[in-house]
A and B are shown apart, each in its own frame.
Chain A
Amino acid sequence: MALLEVQNLSISFGGLRAVDNFNIQIEKGQLYGLIGPNGAGKTTVFNLLTGVYKPTEGIITLDGENITGKKTIDINKAGIARTFQNIRLFKELSVLDNVKVGLHNNYHYGTISGILRLPSYSKTEKIMDEKAMELLKVFDLDKEASTLAANLPYGKQRKLEIARALATNPKLLLLDEPAAGMNPNETLELMETIHFVRDHFNMTILLIEHDMKLVSGICEELTVLNFGKVLTHGKTSDVLNDPQVITAYLGE
């Protein structure tokens, strides 16, 4: 059974059908791409999957569990984590604390033990520190652990966002234009990182991207959106050579 199964997903804003009859099936461990021209509704699909918007119609199933219409935090607990097109970090917190916020729901101690510094506080904080540092090491951010997130260079901010999303221990990772604003070298490095995340964490990844080099380099399957509708889907090489897709991007 597919890890993520979306059937007939639709949403209307007033008269505008932003996403219309969207279907997708992602198997566990897949690296899946969602592409399409500007304004096609890609980020809206992400917002529907993560509960930011409630779908007008359709069913979203994650690992056999129906998550349609649930709240964002419950969807995160069910196993979907995401990054954002315009980076959204906790800017005034340190890099380490950003990841520790991601670990929030996996490690618990009470408010009172936090204030009174009871043994459970120091024990849990120590484990959280270790886990967070482990994740930061994967992204080569461990040396900047105590830097404020706002002071990181752009490429590292993107990486930190991925690290924070992974800290929530998701089944499915959604990346919204991870290569936006990166130079070719950074993009290459990012491609390696995404590959590594998939292999190392055995993660399923769905990503939105405009950079065709990145898409053709790492995605195994693609779905193309145009004006809110699925234009086509299939193996990356087939889809990218499809005349319909070329027309959608370049015009007649």
Chain B
Amino acid sequence: MKMKELNKTTKSNLITYALVIITYIIVQIILESGHMSSLMEGLLVPLCTYVILAVSLNLTVGILGELSLGHAGFMCVGAFSSAFFSKCTAELLPSGLRFFLAILIGAAVAALFGMLVGIPVLRLKGDYLAIVTLAFGEIIKNLVNVLYIGIDENGMHFSTKDSISLGLQPGGKTIINGAQGISGTPNDSTFTIGIILVLITLFIVLNLVHSRDGRAIMAIRDNRIAAESVGINITKYKLMAFTISAALAGVAGVLYAHNLSTLTALPKNFGYNMSITILVFVVLGGIGNIRGSVIAAVVLTLLPELLRELNDYRMLIYAIVLIAMMLFNSSPKAIAFREKYSLKKLFAKKSAKEGK
């Protein structure tokens, strides 16, 4: 019984990894044969970004059970800190090493912010937590928009007014230029690196969930009082899940930043809408279901693009798909239907009949 259960989770994890790798191979084949439109090609790295974001948010929403609406904020922190680093060291380091360090820096800075926000915020519950994380996301976005950082022979200069008040020496350069953001970040992100990061994210989240710490985190989600009564340190594990989730969102931000020549903090990419979009991936993929998040992120990102030819009907169909997925995932009738006609059961029935 025990072995069977162990095998079941391992098998389920392997299916998730296999799914990602197979998708990667198929996409590579299509790319090689030149059948992919440039529009789709441009979507590949953002897709990886969204998958990482959805999986990492699922760690907070599904596994820890706390609603966070500021996930784009952590992505923003990761994006800007890593782009800043990459631009500063663009001429100093070889691109491979530079990007590797950029990923680490993006993750570390986002983790730091996750911890700073988490310490006070995780005392709150439910709606209050959602409101504070939402505010955090907006504050980060607005802060970045008024941030000016330049560098010259005297070192670094900060300002929150404009680039002239940085007082740079001739020959100095502005790195973060307020609302104009960071331009000229090296384009280090590729689809292959994106997929590797997706796999690493899945590896971290899935292994965490099925470890001693993951059990403690889910125990807190299911019943805080009971978890406390068996000696689980609530604050420690909440903070752990929240910080790891933020760090992974930071990694997604790094991938995002190094795919663009100009990085700006707009409501569209780092604002409230983005946080909600990620939350939609998580909810429709199934809360706590990691593989579901991956699939939902891919389907819901591709759908609007694939339906582009239908013009006005595009958003209508998107909305219908959202409703259909929601019903399929959570209506009791749909769940009963799925259990009745699941592939596994049909196969089991067939083999049982043949056995007779």
Contacts and interface: CB of A to CB of B under 8 A. Distances in A.
Contacts of B207: 114-117
Interface string A100-126: 111011011101001111000100110
B229 interface: yes
A79 to B, nearest CB: 10
Assign chain A's interface to a size class: 35 or more
A94 interface: yes
A93 B226 contact: no
B56 to A, nearest CB: 14
A52 B215 CA distance: 23
Given A72-B228, A94-B5, A115-B208, A100 B215 contact: yes
B78 interface: no
B213 A114 contact: yes
A145 B1 contact: yes
Contacts, number: 109
B222 A81 contact: no
A115 B202 CA distance: 11
Contact of A102 (B1, B222, B230): B230
B227 A101 contact: yes
Given A91-B223, A93-B219, A146-B4, A81 B229 contact: yes
A107 B2 CA distance: 19
Contacts of A165: 229-230
B231 interface: yes
Contacts of A117: 207
Contact of B222 (A82, A89, A108, A143): A89
B218 A93 contact: yes
A133 B3 CA distance: 12
B261 interface: no
A129 B2 CA distance: 8
B211 A96 contact: no
Contact of A82 (B216, B221, B229, B234): B229
A105 B236 CA distance: 13
5 contacts: A72-B229, A84-B229, A96-B2, A101-B215, A107-B212
Given A101-B230, A104-B212, A145-B1, 4 more contacts: A92-B222, A96-B5, A114-B214, A145-B2
Interface of B: 1-2, 4-5, 8, 203-204, 207-208, 211-216, 218-219, 221-223, 225-234, 240, 288
